[in-house]
Amino acid sequence: MILFEPSNLGTILYQALIIGLFLLFFISFAFFIRRLVLNSNHNKLRIQEIEKKLEKIIKLL
């Protein structure tokens, strides 16, 4: 008795490929969202620093 027949092996490889692609998609999507959040936080900090500098300039005027 053959454990992996050619037709079964092809089906198993195909399913493994599909599952792997789904996992890759979700991991990539999670990293994309994470990067968006980090960039958003960084931009907020930059805007706050610029506002502080503008307030100092206004006080000097």
- What's the pLDDT at 1? 47
- Asked whether residue 15 is assigned to any structural domain, the reply reads no
Q: How many Å apart are CA 61 and CA 51, to the nearest integer?
A: 15
Average pLDDT over residues 11-25: 94
Provide the pLDDT confidence category of residue 54 given band limits of 50, 70 and 90.
very high
Provide the pLDDT confidence category of residue 55 given band limits of 50, 70 and 90.
very high
- Asked whether residue 58 is assigned to any structural domain, the reply reads yes
| Cα-to-chain-centroid distance, residue 41 | 15
- Asked whether residue 45 is assigned to any structural domain, the reply reads yes
Distances (CA, A) of 33 to 24, 39, 61: 14, 10, 42
Q: Which residues contact 4 (CB under 8 A, 6 or more apart)?
A: 12
- Asked whether residue 12 is assigned to any structural domain, the reply reads no
pTM (global) more than 0.75: no
Q: How many Å apart are CA 30 and CA 38, to the nearest integer?
A: 12
Average pLDDT over residues 21-43: 95
* Number of independent structural domains in the chain: 1
